[in-house]
């Protein structure tokens, strides 16, 4: 991959995108289960056969699969993401309303996890085999094994229910009509627990990668050379060791960014946060095909874009790979 031209690489990504979009279209339709409940709303059993046929026809579900596929591509290229059966809303509206919340959660937690993970990983490697290093290592491995929903529910039970410090659900206090600074504070209060949960769960991966990379870097010749040249420990740590360990870590972070779209579904469910992940989850349960498709498409594009980003960033972080 790295040995191909830029154009070649982009073409590869486009090809993957096309395959992903096609899979995206066919897979949900192969699931058992019928979207009729969503289309008709309540009491489907009370409709006559003609009525059911009419409803399915209106949603285009009675046409042959190939036709549906073709018109799906046509719509996509025109930017028409369709209409949600469940919400009776254009999907673009739905997604635009929810996307900012997911990005907010994922983005904040990624930044915080990066800071803490990199710092802790570097420190651990620097003070290898010390009590702190071993302690951190074991804590990180333990945290890494925690189920996200369990940690979320635990935090709610302790911080929200028992201590009453923070709200347990939602992005804002419902129908409170806060404006300006009050609203910012309200959103902030509601975001603390979900962001905390996500951050805590993301740190271990960053930490472990950083630590491992730093350890191998610290053992290399140029570090010995730098010390021999009289560089102070601080300079060795920051300018030489850490800087050269960044590449894999940044790669991981860039890839994680792609999962911001929908990867936060569990946290959003536990905290009833109105993000994209929850939208997807409910669409899958209710066989809301257009929303599922739009959502998976977004995730695909995001993951591919973040891969591309990581690919492009790498030469800057590790000049040894430049020009290949």
Partner 1 sequence: MKKSYLFMLLLVGLLLLAACQPEEVQVEVTRVVTETITEEMEVTRIVEGEVVTESVEVTRIVEVEVVPEVPEEPTSLRMAIHGTENSLNPYTYRTGYPGWNMLLLEYDTLLQLDADGVPQPWLASNMELSEDGLTITFDLRDDVTWHDGEPFTAEDVKFTVEYYQTHEHGRWTRNSQPIESVETDGDYKVIFHMAAGSPGYELQLAETPIIPQHIWEGVEDPDTHEFEANIGTGPYKLTETVLDQFYVMEANENYFAGKPAVDKLVFVQFADDSGSLAAIRTNAVDMIVRRASPEQITILGAVEGIDVAQGPEFATDMVNYDVERFPFNNKTVRQAMNLAIDRQDLVDTVYLGAASPGSAGWIHPASPMYNEAVVTTYDPDAAMALLEEAGITDSDGDGIRELDGQPLSFEFLAVSTEALRLREAELVSEMLGKIGIEAVVTAVETSTWEEAVWPGFDVTQGRNYEMSMWGWSAPVQANPLRMWQLLHSSPDTGFLNLTGFANERADELSETLTTAIDPAVQKETLAELQEITADDLPFILLLYPDGAYAYWSSVYDGWTFMAGQGVFNKLSFIPEEARP
| Binding flag, residue 79, partner 1 (CB under 8 A) | no
Q: What gap in Å lies between CA 129 and CA 204, rounded to an integer?
A: 18
The minimum distance between CB 13 and partner 1, in angstroms, equals 32
Residues 237/121, Cβ–Cβ less than 8 Å? no
* Other residues' Cβ atoms within 10 Å of the Cβ of residue 220: 12
| Binding flag, residue 42, partner 1 (CB under 8 A) | yes
* Only segment of 20-28, 71-79, 285-293, 294-302 that touches partner 1 (CB under 8 A): 285-293
Q: What gap in Å lies between CA 152 and CA 244, rounded to an integer?
A: 35
* Only segment of 15-23, 37-45, 140-148, 306-314 that touches partner 1 (CB under 8 A): 37-45
Question: 72: closest CA among 56, 61, 85, 86?
Answer: 61
49-63 core/surface letters (b: 16 or more CB in 10 A; e: else): eeeeeebbeebebee
Residues between 134 and 173 that touch partner 1 (CB under 8 A): 153, 156-157, 160-161, 164-171
| Binding flag, residue 94, partner 1 (CB under 8 A) | yes
Q: What gap in Å lies between CA 206 and CA 239, rounded to an integer?
A: 19
Residues 13/304, Cβ–Cβ less than 8 Å? yes
53 to each of 26, 34, 39, 147, 262, how far by Cα in Å?
22, 13, 11, 44, 33
* Only segment of 19-27, 31-39, 290-298, 304-312 that touches partner 1 (CB under 8 A): 31-39
Counting other chains too, the contacts that 171-178 makes at CB distance below 8 Å and 24 or more residues apart are: 171/101, 171/273, 171/274
| Binding flag, residue 36, partner 1 (CB under 8 A) | yes
Q: Is 174 left (phi over 0), alpha (psi -120 to 50) or beta?
A: beta
| Binding flag, residue 40, partner 1 (CB under 8 A) | yes
| Binding flag, residue 272, partner 1 (CB under 8 A) | yes
The minimum distance between CB 88 and partner 1, in angstroms, equals 5
Nearer to partner 1 among residue 100 and residue 286 (C-beta): 286
With CB under 8 A as the contact rule, the residue among 17, 44, 255, 302 that binds partner 1 is 44
The minimum distance between CB 136 and partner 1, in angstroms, equals 10
| Binding flag, residue 51, partner 1 (CB under 8 A) | yes
Residues 273/196, Cβ–Cβ less than 8 Å? no
* Only segment of 102-110, 225-233, 268-276, 305-313 that touches partner 1 (CB under 8 A): 268-276
* Only segment of 60-68, 70-78, 112-120, 294-302 that touches partner 1 (CB under 8 A): 112-120
Please count the residues of this chain forming the interface with partner 1, following the rule CB under 8 A: 66
Quote the DSSP letter at residue 172. S
Q: How many CA atoms lie within 13 A of 128 on its CB side?
A: 13
Question: 168: closest CA among 158, 176, 183?
Answer: 158
| Binding flag, residue 230, partner 1 (CB under 8 A) | no
| Binding flag, residue 187, partner 1 (CB under 8 A) | no
| Binding flag, residue 4, partner 1 (CB under 8 A) | no
Question: 101: closest CA among 167, 191, 176, 179?
Answer: 191
The minimum distance between CB 113 and partner 1, in angstroms, equals 11
The contact set with partner 1 (CB under 8 A) reads 31-34, 36-37, 40-49, 51-52, 54-55, 83, 86-89, 94, 97-98, 112, 115-116, 119-120, 123, 153, 156-157, 160-161, 164-171, 174-175, 185, 188-189, 192, 268-272, 274, 278-279, 281-282, 285-287
């Amino acid at each position: 991959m790295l040995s191909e031209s830029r154009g070649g690489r982009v073409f590869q990504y486009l090809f993957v995108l096309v395959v992903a979009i096609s899979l995206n279209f066919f897979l949900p339709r192969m699931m058992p289960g019928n979207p009729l409940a969503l289309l008709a709303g309540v009491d489907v059993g009370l409709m006559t056969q003609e009525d059911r046929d009419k409803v399915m026809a209106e949603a285009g579900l009675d046409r042959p699969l190939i036709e549906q596929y073709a018109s799906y591509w046509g719509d996509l290229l025109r930017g028409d993401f369709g209409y949600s059966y469940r919400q009776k809303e254009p999907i673009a509206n739905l997604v635009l309303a929810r996307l900012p919340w997911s990005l907010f959660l994922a983005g904040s937690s990624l930044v915080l996890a990066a800071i803490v993970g990199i710092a802790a990983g570097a420190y651990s490697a620097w003070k290898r085999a010390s009590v702190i290093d071993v302690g951190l290592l074991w804590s990180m491995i333990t945290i890494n094994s925690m189920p996200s929903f369990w940690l979320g529910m635990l935090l709610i039970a302790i911080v929200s229910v028992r201590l009453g410090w923070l709200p347990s659900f939602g992005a804002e206090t419902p129908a409170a009509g806060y404006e300006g600074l009050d609203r910012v504070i309200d959103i902030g209060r509601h975001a603390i627990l979900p962001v905390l949960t996500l951050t805590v769960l993301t740190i271990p991966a960053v930490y472990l990668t950083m630590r491992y990379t730093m350890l191998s870097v610290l053992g290399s010749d140029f570090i010995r050379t730098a010390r021999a040249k009289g560089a102070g420990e601080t300079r060795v740590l920051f300018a030489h060791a850490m800087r050269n360990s960044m590449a894999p870590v940044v790669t991981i972070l860039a890839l994680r960014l792609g999962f911001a779209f929908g990867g936060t579904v569990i946290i959003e469910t536990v905290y009833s946060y109105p993000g994209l992940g929850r939208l997807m989850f409910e669409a899958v349960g209710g066989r809301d095909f257009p929303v599922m498709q739009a959502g998976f498409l977004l995730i695909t594009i995001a993951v591919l874009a973040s891969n591309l980003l990581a690919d492009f960033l790498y030469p800057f972080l590790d000049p040894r790979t430049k020009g290949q």
